[in-house]
Amino acid sequence: MATVAPSRPVDWSGLAARHWLAVLGLLAMALPTLVSLARGPWSIESGVHGPIVLATGGWLIARRVAEIQAYMRPGNLQLALLGLGLAVPSYAFGRAFDFISIEVAALLLAFVSVGYAYFGVVVLRMLWFPIFYLGFLIPIPGWLLDTVTQPLKLLVSEVVTDTLSLVGYPVARVGVTIYVASYQLLVEDACAGLNSLVSLSAIGLFYVYMLRGSNWRYSMLLLALVVPIAIAANMIRVAALVLITYHFGNAAAQGYLHNFAGMVTFTSALLFIFLVDKILSPVRNALSPGGETAV
């Protein structure tokens, strides 16, 4: 770990007072976007990780304030203005036409551009992970969600149908629609695994960075396991909902138990990631530099 050079404390209030226009500009962009996120993507299952990412990403930056103070050097103003020249019109476009993904991405670009102007490239390079991690705040566009989830929905519905058929349940499927007794269930995006995959990837990435960041090979292995864990967890979720529908009716499966199953699935998958990390301790030791346990 690099030694932080002694530095004079930064007068943040004085800095904000001298550059009040930039502060007001960023706040004018950020506050409406946060409200839109809270009312939209963060209020549904696919965006539950948003507030967690925002809070933990901010903490990752705040914990390195001493290093930021030590290495801050103003960046190239022309490059910063170029970034803002791209971010501000994109933000206005996304805001005006309700493209929340473009709006959030442009807002992050604006913050990075201003950060580069005041703190320089060394600080941005030092904060590469928090910046990348905050990219999980960008909601997945609907067209991409539909494209990616379609094969996952087919996979989940096929595996669930085949498994329940083997144990004697009257289950069949057509595409992503599962038929059980007199009921039919549509495997939607929330049950396909992508929603959990994004949330688990974000939280798993934070976990790996904090605890296993010094061992990049093992970190990549653990992150790769997030994908099958998320898909397997959602297969169990769909199977449980099919069984609830069969034994207790459609009203029971589509009511409180539907949302409860989603929460249980996500929590179980997250705990399973921690368990896998524990089980793979010998692998982690083998992949650590010199064969020693990474801290």
Helix (H) or strand (E) holding 183: strand 183-186
Residue 73 annotated to the active site: no
Active-site position among 95, 173, 212, 237: 237
Q: What is the DSSP string of 67-117?
A: HHHHH-----HHHHHHHHHHHHHHHHHHHHTT-HHHHHHHHHHHHHHHHHH
CA dihedral (269, 272, 274, 280) positive or negative:
negative
* Three-state DSSP class for residue 259: helix
Task: Look up residue 40 and give its DSSP letter.
Answer: T
Active site residue 191: yes
Q: Are 266 and 199 in contact (CB under 8 A)?
A: yes
**Phi, psi for residue 171 in degrees, rounded to 5:** -120, 140
Rounded to the nearest 5°, which phi and psi values hold at 186?
A: -95, 125
Q: Which tokens in the block code for residue 240?
A: 């449980």
Of 191, 212, 217, 284, catalytic: 191
Q: Looking at the annotation, which residues are catalytic?
A: 191, 237
